[in-house]
Amino acid sequence: MVLSLGAAAAILVSMPASGAKRGKGLRAASATASAVGAFNVATATARCPGKTKAVAGGYSTSLPSMPGHWLNVYESQRIGQNRWRVSGVEYFPAPAADTLTAYVYCERLKTKVKAVPTGVPLTTTPHGATSVLSICPSGSRALSGGFVTPASNAVGASYVSRSTAVGQNGWVVDTTNLAGMAARTIFGYVYCARVGKAPRRSASVAVLGPANSFRTVITPACPGKTRARGGGFATSAPVAGLLGTALVYETKRAGRSWRTSASASSNTTSSTMVGTSLCR
């Protein structure tokens, strides 16, 4: 359901990217923002250090507490060559601020990273789902992917339940129309480069009620000397609006693995959550 409240002025507190962390040819940085009050927006942009390029990104938010508060992430995308931006909207009024952290994962790639966006109309059918698939140009493979959907407000809302790799060169995004009949467009992105074939590691977990039960899935470690350099998530498509939904609040790198977390939106939630890491 959507609250019948007017959108308040945005409250945004953006912080500089944290000190970069080093890995095997990979560096990471983060940025944090916060929002409080119904339909206020938080946006955080993490920047790669030095001359490294952004190859993937992720995010985490405050723990949802339904129906008290929930920061609904509607944007997670690469910006330029060296940044990753994440935005979320406060879907319910909360007594305290919800926080949002954006993560960017960076490399000194010699090859060019190409963004391939695909936009499609979001269905106006209440609780209907829309999928968008983006494909890399011939000869290149997917490093990662992202999405942008309209920010939820008092008259319309949507939720991204899947953002993950398909094969070696595709990225798929699923969005559900929670409320509203107005025409809206969703965008899926795949970020591509001429790199070698990437092994994948996936793991799944059931997300079950009661409401606000939290589950985390961590993929098996990447093989050999490879590391998780990107990743994605997928959950069962929401039914009856938010009822039965797994609310993904964390998708990020965890060493040689990828970590994804979600909470049950209601007592009747019965969903499967899958996390996938892209290894190189």
Residues in the chain: 280
Instruction: Say yes or no to pLDDT of 13 above 90.
Output: no
Residues 248, 161: contact at Cβ < 8 Å? yes
Instruction: Say yes or no to pLDDT of 10 above 80.
Output: no
Cα–Cα distance for residue pair 185/176, rounded to 1 Å: 12
Hey, where are the domains in the chain?
Answer: 21-279
What's the CA angle centered on 236, arms 235 and 239, to 5 degrees?
130
> How does residue 266 score in pLDDT terms, banded at 50, 70 and 90?
very high
Tens-digit pLDDT profile for residues 270-279: 999 999 999 9
Cα–Cα distance for residue pair 57/54, rounded to 1 Å: 8
Instruction: Say yes or no to pLDDT of 72 above 50.
Output: yes
The arithmetic mean of pLDDT across residues 254-266, rounded, is: 96
Alpha helices in the chain (DSSP H): none
Strands 83-90 and 157-166: unpaired
How many CB atoms lie under 10 A from the CB of residue 49?
Answer: 16
Class of domain 21-279: mainly beta
pLDDT at 77: 98
What percentage of the chain exceeds 90 in pLDDT? 78
pLDDT at 24: 53
- The overall average pLDDT reported for the chain is 89
Cα 168 to Cα 46, 53, 140, 163, 173: the distances in Å are: 26, 20, 9, 15, 15
Tokens 């997300």 label which residue?
Answer: 207
Cα 21 to Cα 24, 77, 104, 231: the distances in Å are: 10, 20, 11, 18
Cα–Cα distance for residue pair 233/226, rounded to 1 Å: 20
Distance, CA of 92 to chain centre: 19
The arithmetic mean of pLDDT across residues 72-101, rounded, is: 94
Residues 95, 82: contact at Cβ < 8 Å? no
Residues 117, 72: contact at Cβ < 8 Å? no
pLDDT at 1: 33
Residues 31, 103: contact at Cβ < 8 Å? no
> How does residue 15 score in pLDDT terms, banded at 50, 70 and 90?
very low
Tokens 């960017």 label which residue?
Answer: 104
The arithmetic mean of pLDDT across residues 213-235, rounded, is: 96
> How does residue 12 score in pLDDT terms, banded at 50, 70 and 90?
very low
**And the tokens for 183?**
């025409």
The arithmetic mean of pLDDT across residues 85-99, rounded, is: 90
Sign of CA dihedral 75, 63, 99, 22: negative
Q: Is the pTM of this model over 0.75?
A: yes
Cα–Cα distance for residue pair 193/136, rounded to 1 Å: 8
Cα–Cα distance for residue pair 270/279, rounded to 1 Å: 30
Instruction: Say yes or no to pLDDT of 214 above 90.
Output: yes
Residues 44, 100: contact at Cβ < 8 Å? yes
What's the CA angle centered on 101, arms 149 and 238, to 5 degrees?
40
Tens-digit pLDDT profile for residues 150-171: 999 988 999 999 999 999 999 9
Cα–Cα distance for residue pair 174/164, rounded to 1 Å: 9
Max avg pLDDT among 4-8, 104-108, 123-127:
104-108
What percentage of the chain exceeds 70 in pLDDT? 91
**And the tokens for 253?**
């790198």
Residue type, 61: T
Tens-digit pLDDT profile for residues 50-65: 999 999 999 999 999 9
pLDDT at 2: 33
